[in-house]
């Protein structure tokens, strides 16, 4: 049986007004309970790893996550996605991003993301275009980012309300239109008030800031680009904002802190206890936060 690719599934999600959640894997034992929860709730989602999760946590490598994923993969319920591969990372270091993308394609990832959001627009376009050309040649869709989704930088963030009121880092709708047209990217991660969970050792266990979204700004971006949009930093955003954003073009929502922190809090009791904590956190996200139980029947019948 031939299963639809991730690009087709994202198109279906956008057309149906349903979000595909992506779940980050900073620790390899999280893969099993993430897939089990999606399967048990007849939900569809992506298993994802970002570069920082093998650099700063314990997912080891994109190949290690791909190998663990293959042990549990459920084609009706899951696909494998390479999350944030930055061109400039959170420590202001230049990254050999094309080499990482090639490794992911060789390892069987079914979609990839390049993050040039710390670059000037023209350079972001150029780097994203390189990834699009490489991945599309292999039949793999590409996600990119425009605007600055804050939270992974060193040091404390400014007060959230100050960030929101200023629109600092928000994706510019006209730049988004030009970016999508120039790169041929398949999906776009946007900054509209969302923030990432902190990853520094001092802050990663703290409760995430309750964020909200500028839905009017999202609507302007969506009208201009005509492709599925992605919301990073999904944990902690007000539910009414999230559900409204799905109706206005968000087709993928990244979830990390909501399942990472339960694992970290429970691991002292052993891996089995940490995996159960992830499973229960997954059920809460699927059932309560995103209301996605049964979404596999809509997206991948």
Q: Which residues are catalytic?
A: 83
Strand (E) or helix (H) holding 246: helix 239-247
| 74 Cβ neighbours under 8 A, 6+ residues apart | 35, 38, 39
Q: How many CB atoms lie within 10 A of CB 73?
A: 16
Contact at 8 Å (CB) between 234 and 254? yes
Instruction: For helices 31-40 and 271-284, give the axis angle rounded to 10 degrees.
Output: 40
Query: In the chain, how long is the greatest CA-to-CA distance?
Result: 52
CA angle 168, 91, 161 (to 5 degrees): 25
Whole-angstrom distance, CA of residue 98 vs CA of residue 88: 12
Q: Give which of 259, 246, 248, 260 is closest to 290, Cα–Cα.
A: 246
Q: Which residue has the tokens 């989704």?
A: 149
Q: Please tell me whether residue 82 adopts helix, strand or coil conformation.
A: strand
């Amino acid at each position: 049986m031939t299963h639809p690719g991730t690009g087709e599934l994202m198109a279906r999600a956008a057309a149906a007004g349903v979000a595909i959640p992506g779940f980050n894997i900073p620790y390899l034992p999280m893969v099993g309970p993430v897939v089990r929860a999606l399967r048990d709730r007849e939900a569809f989602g992506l298993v994802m790893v970002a570069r920082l999760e093998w650099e700063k946590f314990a997912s080891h490598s994109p190949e290690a996550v791909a190998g663990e994923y293959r042990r549990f993969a459920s084609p009706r319920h899951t696909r494998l996605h390479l999350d944030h591969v930055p061109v400039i990372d959170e420590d202001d270091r230049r990254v050999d991003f094309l080499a990482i993308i090639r490794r992911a394609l060789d390892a069987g990832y079914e979609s990839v993301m390049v993050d040039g959001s710390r670059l000037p627009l023209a350079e972001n376009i150029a780097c994203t275009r390189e990834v699009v050309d490489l991945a599309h040649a292999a039949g793999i869709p590409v996600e990119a980012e425009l605007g600055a989704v804050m939270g992974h930088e060193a040091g404390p963030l400014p007060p959230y309300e100050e960030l929101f009121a200023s629109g600092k880092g928000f994706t510019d709708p006209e730049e988004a239109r030009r970016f999508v047209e120039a790169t041929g990217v398949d999906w776009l991660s946007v900054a509209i008030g969302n923030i990432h969970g902190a990853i520094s050792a001092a802050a990663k266990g703290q409760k995430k800031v309750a964020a909200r979204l500028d839905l009017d700004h999202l609507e302007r971006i969506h009208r201009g680009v005509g492709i599925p949009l992605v919301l990073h930093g999904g944990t902690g955003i007000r539910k009414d904002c999230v559900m409204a954003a799905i109706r206005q073009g968000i087709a993928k929502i990244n979830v990390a802190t909501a399942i990472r922190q339960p694992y970290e809090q429970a691991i002292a009791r052993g891996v089995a206890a940490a995996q159960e904590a992830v499973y229960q956190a997954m059920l809460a996200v699927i059932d309560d936060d995103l209301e996605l139980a049964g979404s596999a029947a809509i997206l991948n019948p």
